[in-house]
């Protein structure tokens, strides 16, 4: 299996799904999914997610918080390594700030995304604590951000894998919340994960399940990021 760039183009449609767990497929369409890099909390503070172009071929992700008067309260870069990183989504839910970021490789440097702007233990006891094997494809991190300090409180990587086990691309263009869980819509270039506490290839999946050269998925993740509780393979784009 190879990495397919075509899946970066996301279109909005209604969808149906088939599930890899024992429950009925979740086909609700009324969750207010967030697709934006801008959020506002109850106090009128704003949060802008994006990336700094620090060189001709390198990006570093940031979130910028301002108060209701437009004054900067904090602005943090979450990794400052040769790995490309971007903050792509922010969402405010039930008094908590969540973000989705992407990186295209792993790093153990002190300014890497898992070590730079983090609360101690932020990536411990989670579904996937690191990028995995290999480098190059963009993968996603889903996280809770401390809205007072900007630091990552808890987070997990979510990646696809090639048949040889190397990490491959998985993007999360939409995030929502339902029944005390984080709900994600995702697009994977290679074999996506199924439900569980660590990566296990989504069961009974083949290239015949691809739409537009990619797998389209819906995930429910626990708020402590310890497990994917539900994983649905979608039968159309979203």
Q: Residue 156 pLDDT > 70, yes or no?
A: yes
Query: Average of pLDDT values for 166-177?
Result: 98
Number of structural domains the chain divides into? 1
- State how far the Cα of 187 lies from the Cα of 170, in Å rounded to an integer: 6
Contact 34, 173 (CB under 8 A): no
Name the nearest CA neighbour of 170 among 1, 2, 7: 7
Check residue 45 and give its pLDDT: 98
- How confident is the model over 14-27, as a mean pLDDT? 39
Which value, in Å, is the radius of gyration of the alpha carbons in the chain? Answer: 17
Average pLDDT over residues 86-99: 97
Residues forming a β-bridge with 52:
60
* DSSP class of 207: G
Q: Could you tell me the two tokens for 94?
A: 């039930």
Confidence of residue 90 (pLDDT cuts 50, 70, 90): very high
Residues whose CB is less than 8 angstroms from the CB of residue 234 and which lie 6 or more positions away in sequence, other chains included: 15, 16, 17, 211, 216, 217, 218
- 106 contacts 75 by C-beta, under 8 angstroms: no
pLDDT at 25: 40
Burial of residue 163, with CB atoms counted within 10 A of its CB: 0-12 exposed, 13-18 middle, 19 or more buried: exposed
Looking at every residue in the chain, the average pLDDT score rounds to: 90
Q: What percent of the chain has pLDDT over 70?
A: 87
Q: What is the DSSP string of 42-84?
A: TTS-EEEEEEEEEETTEEEEEEEEE-TTS-EEEEEES--SSS-
9's tokens = 């183009």
pLDDT range class, residue 14, cuts 50, 70, 90: very low
At 113-132, the pLDDT tens digits run 999 999 999 999 999 999 99
User: So what's the pLDDT on residue 6?
Assistant: 39
Query: Where residue 173 falls among pLDDT bands split at 50, 70, 90?
Result: very high
Each residue's pLDDT tens digit, 42-81: 999 999 999 999 999 999 999 999 999 999 999 999 999 9
Cα separation of 16 and 14, whole Å?
Answer: 7
From CA 211, how far away is CA 190, in angstroms rounded? 12
The Cα–Cα gap between 2 and 213 comes to 10
Domain that holds residue 66: 5-234
């Amino acid at each position: 299996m190879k990495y397919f760039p075509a899946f970066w183009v996301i279109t909005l449609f209604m969808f149906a799904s088939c599930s890899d767990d024992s429950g009925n497929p979740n086909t609700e369409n009324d969750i207010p999914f967030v697709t934006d890099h801008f959020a506002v909390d109850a106090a009128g503070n704003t949060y802008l997610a994006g990336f700094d172009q620090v060189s001709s071929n390198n990006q570093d992700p940031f979130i910028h918080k301002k108060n209701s008067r437009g004054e900067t309260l904090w602005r943090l870069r979450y990794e400052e390594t040769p790995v490309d990183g971007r903050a792509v989504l922010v969402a405010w839910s039930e008094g908590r700030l969540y973000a989705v970021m992407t990186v295209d490789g792993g790093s153990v440097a002190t300014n890497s995304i898992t070590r730079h702007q983090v609360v101690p233990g932020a990536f411990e006891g989670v579904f996937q604590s690191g990028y995995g094997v290999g480098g190059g494809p963009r993968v996603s991190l889903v996280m809770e951000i401390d809205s007072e300090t900007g630091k990552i409180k808890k987070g997990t990587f979510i990646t696809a894998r090639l048949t040889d086990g190397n990490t491959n691309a998985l993007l999360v263009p939409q995030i929502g919340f339902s029944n005390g869980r984080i709900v994600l819509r995702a697009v994977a270039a290679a074999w996506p994960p199924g439900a569980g506490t660590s990566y296990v290839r989504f069961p009974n999946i083949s290239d015949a399940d691809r739409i537009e050269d990619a797998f389209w998925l819906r995930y429910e993740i626990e708020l402590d990021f310890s497990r994917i509780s539900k994983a649905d393979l979608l039968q159309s784009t979203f």
